[in-house]
Each structure stands twice: as structure tokens, then as C-alpha cells.
């Protein structure tokens, strides 16, 4: 027998194609880390069609006076991913281990750039005021065991449910959870519509 909370998490997300989506005034949109990486990319991350799509979408969101929302876990993931991309592209041969790179003088300029972008992200977003409690953490741990979503993604799905927000993401893993997804990723659109 499936637990009620787990059944809801296994519900397919409803995905909206970002190129056809009209943002509404005061609509809350939780912007995922991967989208921020497209909007504020590290130099080692080449610009692509997704970056263009999400840039236009973010501009449309601001013009419509929708509200981009941020969570501390997203900022944490952004900073980590930004620095790892730079390490993988520019410094891995010099510092085979990421932790060695973090202790090097070369890390300082990368960390400075990542921190500047993270500050810009905070300036362009609203912080939600929902506290993640022990119950949500235990549910995230249970969901993690199913393999459907990683731990942080489970918390983001729960956050979207509790605050009635849509999630703007390019991550194909967000197929289940019973929330509304905005994406330019054709794979995610297809996966969310398949039965």
C-alpha cells in the first residue's frame, strides 16, 4: 500500500512550454538553479539556445510583474555549480581535486565572480518566508529513497506546493510531484505529458 504523501509525489507534473507561457502579475515563480546558471553563467559555460530562452522568459516575467522566488538551497547549489564548472573547464589539470582548487589562490577570483552573481540573483528575487521543518525533511528523505527526485529537489517541490508556486526549471528530473513546471526543455515537456 502506498502512503498518501508518496502517492502525491508520484503524480506527474504539469509542464508548460515556456515559449507559449504568459506570466501573470504577482504570480510566484520559483527559479531553479539550472536556470540561474543560464542567466548568470560562468565563463566556462558556453551560451546556448536554453540560455536565450530563459533570458527572454525572465525578461517577460519581470515585465509582467511576476515574482521570481529564491530558496537558500538554490543559492547554495548555484555557487557550488558555478565554481565546479570553472574548475572543470579551466583548472582541473592544475588541481585534480576540487577541494585542492578551493584552497588555491585561483579559487578567489572564481568565488568572487560567483558571489557577485549570487548577490545579483538575490537582488532580482524575493525570498520566501516558509520555514522547512522536521516533517518536510523527513518527507524529503522518504522521497529520496524512491529515486524519483534528489533531496533538494523534493524540498523545492514541497515548497511549490505549500506556496502555490510554479517551478521554472530545465531539469528533466522534475517529472513527478504534482506541481506546475515552466520549461524550455523539450524532453521535460514530453516526459510530463506521457502517461
Residue 18, φ and ψ in degrees, nearest 5: -60, -30
Residue 31, φ and ψ in degrees, nearest 5: -95, 120
Tally Cβ neighbours within 10 Å of residue 116.
Answer: 11
Dump pLDDT digits (tens) for 67-105: 999 999 999 999 999 999 999 999 999 999 999 999 999
Question: In the chain, where are the structural domains located?
Answer: 4-193
Domain 4-193 has CATH 3.90.1150.10: no
User: The dihedral of CA 84, 90, 95, 101: what is its sign?
Assistant: negative
Question: Do the Cβ atoms of 65 and 25 come closer than 8 Å?
Answer: yes
**Residue whose C-alpha is closest to residue 177's, from 6, 27, 11, 5:** 11
Mean pLDDT computed over 171-185: 92
**Residue whose C-alpha is closest to residue 104's, from 121, 119, 118, 90:** 90
Q: Residues 127-130: contacts with CB within 8 Å, 24+ apart?
A: 127/69, 127/70, 127/71, 128/30, 128/69, 128/70, 128/71, 128/159, 128/163, 130/159, 130/162, 130/163
Give dist(CA 102, CA 131) in Å, integer.
31
Q: What is the pTM of this model?
A: 0.87
Dump pLDDT digits (tens) for 106-157: 999 999 999 999 999 999 999 887 666 666 667 766 666 766 667 778 888 8
Dump pLDDT digits (tens) for 35-67: 999 999 998 777 788 999 999 999 999 999 999
| Mean of the per-residue pLDDT values of the chain | 87
Going along 44-153, which residue ranges are E strands? 67-70, 126-127
Amino acid at each position: 500500500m502506498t502512503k498518501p504523501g508518496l502517492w502525491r509525489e508520484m503524480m506527474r507534473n504539469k509542464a508548460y512550454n515556456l515559449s507559449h507561457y504568459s506570466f501573470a502579475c504577482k504570480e510566484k515563480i520559483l527559479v531553479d538553479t539550472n536556470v540561474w546558471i543560464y542567466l548568470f553563467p560562468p565563463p566556462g559555460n558556453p551560451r546556448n539556445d536554453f540560455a536565450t530562452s530563459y533570458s527572454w522568459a525572465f525578461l517577460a516575467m519581470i515585465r509582467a510583474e511576476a515574482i521570481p522566488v529564491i530558496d537558500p538551497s538554490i543559492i547554495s547549489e548555484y555557487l557550488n555549480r558555478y565554481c565546479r564548472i570553472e574548475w572543470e573547464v579551466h583548472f582541473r589539470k592544475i588541481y585534480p581535486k576540487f577541494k585542492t582548487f578551493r584552497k588555491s589562490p585561483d579559487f578567489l577570483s572564481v568565488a568572487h565572480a560567483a558571489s557577485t552573481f549570487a548577490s545579483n540573483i538575490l537582488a532580482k528575487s524575493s525570498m520566501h518566508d516558509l520555514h522547512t521543518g522536521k516533517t518536510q525533511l523527513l518527507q524529503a528523505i522518504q522521497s529520496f529513497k524512491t529515486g524519483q527526485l534528489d533531496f533538494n529537489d523534493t524540498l523545492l517541490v514541497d515548497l511549490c506546493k505549500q506556496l502555490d508556486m510554479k517551478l521554472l526549471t530545465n531539469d528533466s528530473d522534475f517529472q513527478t510531484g504534482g506541481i506546475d513546471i515552466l520549461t524550455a526543455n523539450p524532453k521535460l515537456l514530453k516526459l510530463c505529458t506521457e502517461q
